[in-house]
């Protein structure tokens, strides 16, 4: 497989915050992360009224390493300052095993 990775961030959001979180992610947070140049593609998805995920596709994997080293702490702090409660965040890094197209 290629030297690529997917950084996935899942959000479980209190219902009263869902619209504000979606707007912030779509209009500010993700465009700012896109501007780092660390990712080839970013997908923001919603699984229900209060569940979101963002998949950040990095190739080569060193771009994800650069993002985590140089940028992640600042973006995480900004998110936490805007939504100090009511959002549970889970992060994981995925590496491809096989690909069918």
Q: What is the pLDDT of residues 41-57, one digit of tens each?
A: 999 999 999 999 999 99
Q: Determine, yes or no, domain membership for 62.
A: yes
pLDDT cut 70: percent of the chain above it: 98
| pTM over the 0.85 mark | yes
Q: Determine, yes or no, domain membership for 13.
A: yes
Residue 1 has pLDDT above 70, yes or no: no
CA distance 71 to 39: 12
Q: Determine, yes or no, domain membership for 99.
A: no
Q: How many CB atoms lie within 10 A of CB 18?
A: 19
CATH number at residue 38: 3.30.70.100
Residues 6+ apart with CB under 8 A from 76: none
Q: Determine, yes or no, domain membership for 29.
A: yes
Q: Determine, yes or no, domain membership for 101.
A: no
Q: Determine, yes or no, domain membership for 100.
A: no
Q: How many domains does the chain have?
A: 1
Give the 3-state secondary structure of residue 55: strand
Contact 30, 39 (CB under 8 A): no
- H-helix or E-strand spanning residue 32: helix 30-34
Residue ranges making up the domain that contains 58? 5-94
């Amino acid at each position: 497989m290629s030297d690529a990775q997917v950084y996935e961030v899942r959000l479980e959001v209190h219902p009263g915050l869902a619209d504000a979180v979606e707007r912030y992610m779509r209009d500010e947070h993700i465009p700012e992360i896109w501007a780092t140049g660390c990712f080839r593609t970013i997908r923001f998805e919603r699984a229900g009224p209060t569940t979101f995920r963002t998949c950040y596709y990095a190739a080569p994997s060193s771009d994800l390493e650069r993002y985590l080293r140089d940028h992640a702490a600042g973006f995480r702090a900004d998110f936490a300052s805007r939504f100090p409660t009511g959002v549970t965040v889970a992060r994981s890094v995925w590496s491809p095993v096989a690909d069918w197209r």
